[in-house]
Structures are given as C-alpha cells and as structure tokens.
Amino acid sequence: MHSPPLTKLKQLWQVMSSRYRPSFKRRLLWAQRRFYQKRAEFYIDLASQIEAQPGQTLAIFLQKYALRYPGEPVGIVCAHWLMRFEETARFSRAVTHTLPPEEVTVLAVAEESGDLKIGLRTLATNIDALETTKHLFLLINASALVGLAILHIFLGLIGYWIVPKIESAMNLDSNLYGPIAQTYHIFATAIRMVGPGWLALLVAALIWGSWSIKNYTGHWRAWLDQHVIFYSVHRDFAGALFLATIASITQKIGARAISIHEALLRIKPYASPWLAAHIKRILLNFEEMPNAGGEAFATGILQREFQYRLQDISEYQKLDSALLSVAQYILRETPKRIQRTATLIRYSLSFSTVAIMMGLYFGLLGMINEFQASSAMQNIILSP
C-alpha cells in the first residue's frame, strides 16, 4: 500500500501528464538535460542510501527526491522514474530513454546480478573520464561539420551565384574564355549538375555513420575502428565501460560472486550489436581456450596497446582485477589522446578550409581579369 505522500505524488503526476502533455514532455526533456550534468553525484548518493538502508525499497528513495525537489531537474526525473518503476518493477527499465543506453546496460546487468549499487558506483566512478571523452568526441564532430558546412556553402555560391553572375555580366562567347574562366565554367556547371545528389549522398553518409558506430559489424568494421577517429573513440569509450562493468559485477563478495563467463552472458542481451558481436567472439575464445586470460579479449574491442596491457597484467593478477585496472587506465589515457587528435583535426580543417577558399577566391579574381581582357579583345575585333 502506498504511503500518503507517494499517493499524492502519483495523482499529481498523472494529472499533469494527461492534462498538459505537450508542455509536460518539454519540461521532462529539459529536466533530463539538466540532470544529465549531475547524474554522477546522484548515482553515488543513491548507492550510499541503498547500502545504508538495505530494507527499504527503491521507490522510497526516488519518492524522497521527487518530493524534496518537485520543480528541479532531479525531482522531475525521479518522479518520472518512480511512476515507471511502479509499472515495470525494474529500475533499469524505468530509466530507459532518460539515460544513455550504455549506462542503462550497466544498471540492467547490476540489477539482474542482485546488487544495483554496484552498477551505480561503476557509472559514478567512470563518468568524469567518459564525459571528458564524449565532450572531446563531440568537439571533433563539430569541427568537422563546421568546416564541411562552410566549404559547401562557398562552393554552392560559386556554382549557383558568383560564376553565373560574372558570366551574365560579361556576356562573352565561351570560345573567348581563358583557361581560368573555362575551368570555373566547367566547375560551376558540375556543381549545379551533381550538387543536389552530392548533398543527398553526404546526408545519407552522416546518417549511416551515426547509426553504424553502434550497429555496423560487417567486414570493414575492424578497419574503421582502427583508422577512423570517430569509430576508434567509440571503441575506446565502450570498451573501457565494458571492462569496468565486468570487473565490477564479478568482484562481489561471498557466494553471490559470478564468473566472467556468466557476466558476459548477462551483459550480452543489453548490449549494442557492435558490443554483442565482440562478446560472442570473447565467449568463443573462452570455449576454445578455457584457461585464457586477457588474450580472450583480443577481438578488436581494445586498441593494440590496451590489449597487450590487459594480457600482461592478467599474467600476474586475477582476470577480473586486470580488467578493472585496464579499464581505469583507458579512461585516464583516452581523453589525452582525443585532446591531441581534436587539436590536430581542428587546426587541419581550419587551415584546409581557409586555403581552399582563398585559392577559389584568387581564382575568381583571375577569371574576372581574363574576362576583362577577352571583352577588350572582342570590342577591338568588332569595332569598325
């Protein structure tokens, strides 16, 4: 039976969500974004409360936040979770669509293993490093997209406006065009012919790229993870969280501890297609090499340096301890590597974009000079 505050909260939530659905959804989205920035602190606090009060249900803790902070992000999010928790009876299902999928996976596996606070603490420990990596990753994406956008806008202006305007103003026969003018005429014509198709292909590539990072597992995936920065960052990020999750749920005290093999089986149903494919190969490696250590994880889920480190450490430590050690090392080192890469890409793109635009600009000046010379020549030829 619900306590009076919980019943009151439930009734208020139902009235708000049914009567003011559009504005309420916007408010929930706003709360999610704000809560996202402080979720590590919330994970630690919730884990501590669960540990200190083992007899209490999770709904009581969520209710406390919802009633204390009714108009603040944490209160709005917890109230939403509380209602969902009553429907699903699983915390990991209640938080689905409000937390990143990889974090929901960790919580689901920890909850299924019988100790939610392990998942909460694993996430809280790793979030700072993971968020730094994500921020740098988004910075690289933003730099690349801004550079591409500026360049394509300038090319569009050349093809659809600048060159046609110059040609229309000079009104010369194409036989009188100089080499620069001929080049720009062909270039502008090509832009108008293939431009829409090229933009459609570019948008499709961006959409496929966003989807493929977590879902593509085909023949070229290993090469992409090794050579393309967007894929390699995701590999390092997801690989570190994967190792930390296994280490956390296998280092439980007493008879409730589970094996690495069982941990892998529990993680797999919640994993993305990319991670699930690696788990399948790791399980096959353990079947072929029952006493394998870190070499069982040599599936490409870690870059070579991290993989060798795992194999070396697992020779003198238990595998679960080695997994945790390598996960922490990856989370320390990856942001530094991404910082260097982000700086390199940002300056390279800026320099390349400016160089191309300046080259096209001076080419246009050369085209105008050729047109003026050709126009003068035409006037001389046509004069009586």
Residue range 315-343: average pLDDT? 83
Instruction: Give me the pLDDT at residue 249, please.
Output: 75
Give the DSSP letter of residue 90: -
Supply the pLDDT for residue 252.
Answer: 58
Is the per-residue pLDDT at 253 higher than 50? Answer: no
pTM here is: 0.74
Mean per-residue pLDDT for 301-322? 91
Q: How much of the chain is helix, strand and coil, in % rounded to 5?
A: 85, 0, 15
Residues in the chain: 384
Residue 342's pLDDT band (cuts 50, 70, 90): confident
Contacts of 168 (CB under 8 A, 6+ apart): none
Over residues 288-310, mean pLDDT: 91
Record the tokens describing residue 332, joined without a space: 């320390």
Residues 169 and 164: their CA atoms lie apart, in Å, by 9
Encoded tokens for 237: 């990020």
Q: Tell me the C-alpha distance between 241 and 237, whole Å.
A: 6
pLDDT the model gives residue 110? 84
Assess contact for 164 and 369: CB atoms under 8 A. no
Q: Which pLDDT does position 7 carry in this prediction?
A: 59
Take residue 25 and report the two structure tokens written for it: 């959804």
Per-residue pLDDT tens over the stretch 93-114: 999 888 887 788 888 888 887 7
Q: How many CB atoms lie within 10 A of CB 216?
A: 17
Residue pLDDT, tens place only, 154-213: 899 999 998 888 888 877 777 777 888 888 889 999 999 998 999 999 999 989 999 999
CA 289, CA 298: separation in Å to the nearest integer?
A: 12
| Choice between 26 and 360, residue whose per-residue pLDDT is larger | 360
* Residue pLDDT, tens place only, 121-140: 888 887 877 777 677 777 77
For residue 219, pLDDT beyond 60: yes
Q: What torsion do the CA atoms of 280, 282, 285, 286 make, to the nearest 10 degrees? A: -100
**Is residue 271 a contact partner of residue 105, using CB atoms and an 8 Å limit?**
yes
Instruction: Please list, in sequence order, all residues whose beta carbon lies within 8 angstroms of the beta carbon of residue 206, skipping any fewer than 6 positions away.
Output: none
Cβ–Cβ contacts within 10 Å for residue 93, how many?
Answer: 16
Is 253 or 150 the better-scoring residue by pLDDT?
150
Give pLDDT, residue 19.
46
Q: Is the pLDDT of residue 275 over 80?
A: yes
Q: With cut-offs at 50, 70 and 90, classify the pLDDT of residue 216.
A: very high
